[in-house]
Amino acid sequence: MFLTKYNPLPGKILLIHNTTSPDIDGTFTLSWSESLDAKNYTMYQSNSSISKVDSSVNKIMEENTNRTIKFHNLEEGIYYYIVIGYNDYGITTSNLINIIVQYPPGEFFLYHDADFPDKDGTVNLTWSHSQGAEYYDLYINDSLYQDIIIKNSYVVNNLDTGDYGIAIFAINEAGERQSDEVTIYIRRSPSSFSLSTDASSPDTDGTFELMWTKSAYSSYYVIYNSTALIAEINDTSSILLNFIPSFDLPTYRYNLSGLKNGTFYYKIYAFNQYGNYSTKCVQIQVTLPHIPQILQKPSPRYVFPYEIIVYIIAFTVLGILIIVYKKFKK
């Protein structure tokens, strides 16, 4: 009878970790199951997948009988690990695991160029670099305003009157970090608008319309006129009209008539409690056509017809003489 000697290799080894994927602080513990008949264990680490043990892998623990190892503050990267169990008859290799270490974005700070208060509703935002950030999200008043911003700047346009809390979130696969929050105070002054006219050049009848587009955020309008160019409101200009719109229209009109020859200048200001905005100055030349005067013949003076009286007297006398003559002749 022949007996075969049994030379057992180390038993199966299961390697596990206690961290998340990715690991966000570089600190974690690796542990493995007990390998039957193993005398000790050696752990290897690499930055690429381990298919065999050679000079490309690092031996980080050798002939250890303790089946746990803890790592602290590893740098960002991908780490691969295997454990080999040894005894007098050979080795057994564990499963291969990998740990991705990625720190959440680093601290950063938010800046803006808004006035206090800001009157145009446009705010340029910039922020310092957040280490490890893959992209940024912009929140206004705790609501997402714009996501996946790659650059370290963003322009917010056309904010209405109000107060706005603005914050940036730096994001990567490991997590997110919020910037400091800034508060922007928007108080919108009247927006730009334009003035035009239907007057011809020159205007020949002294009648025309002034037309202007709506100025957003305006409470009322004032039309100024002058006989000199209106660069700013002074003693040479006068108020032609204070106008509070009854309806929200895209265009407003004002009719002028009865103007005589001359050059006239008009400018409109839009006002609200936070400021004003003015149009360009419009110049209108009024040249009325010349109308020649028609010469009328003077009415003839009335002359009393004295010759008729003379004729009457003469005929009367003649008649009397004829009558007298006839009497004497009888």
Over residues 45-85, the pLDDT tens digits come to: 999 999 999 988 999 999 888 899 999 999 999 999 999 99
**Residue 143 identity (one-letter amino acid):** S
User: 320 pLDDT exceeds 70?
Assistant: yes
Q: How far apart are CA 38 and CA 15, in angstroms?
A: 15
Query: Do β-strands 262-272 and 220-226 pair in parallel, antiparallel, or remain unpaired?
Result: antiparallel
Question: Which two tokens mark 267?
Answer: 């400018």
| Structure token pair of residue 225 | 């006129």
Give the residue among 179, 181, 18, 27 at the shortest CA–CA distance from 103: 27
To the nearest whole percent, how much of the chain has pLDDT over 70?
92
Tell if the pTM clears 0.75, that is, is over it.
no
Residue 3 has pLDDT above 70, yes or no: no
Top pLDDT among 204 and 323 is at: 204
pLDDT tens for 146-185 read 999 999 999 999 999 999 999 999 999 999 999 999 999 9
HEC-encoded secondary structure of 49-88: CCCCCCCCCEEEEEEECCCEEEECCCCCEEEEEEEEEEEC
Query: How far is Cα 130 from Cα 106, in angstroms, rounded to an integer?
Result: 5
What average pLDDT is seen over the chain?
92
Higher per-residue pLDDT: 297 or 33: 33
**pLDDT for res 228:** 94
Give bridge partners of residue 221 from the DSSP assignment.
Answer: 243, 270
pLDDT confidence bin for 254, thresholds 50/70/90: very high
Q: Which domains does the chain have, with CATH numbers?
A: 15-101 (2.60.40.10), 110-186 (2.60.40.10), 195-286 (2.60.40.10)
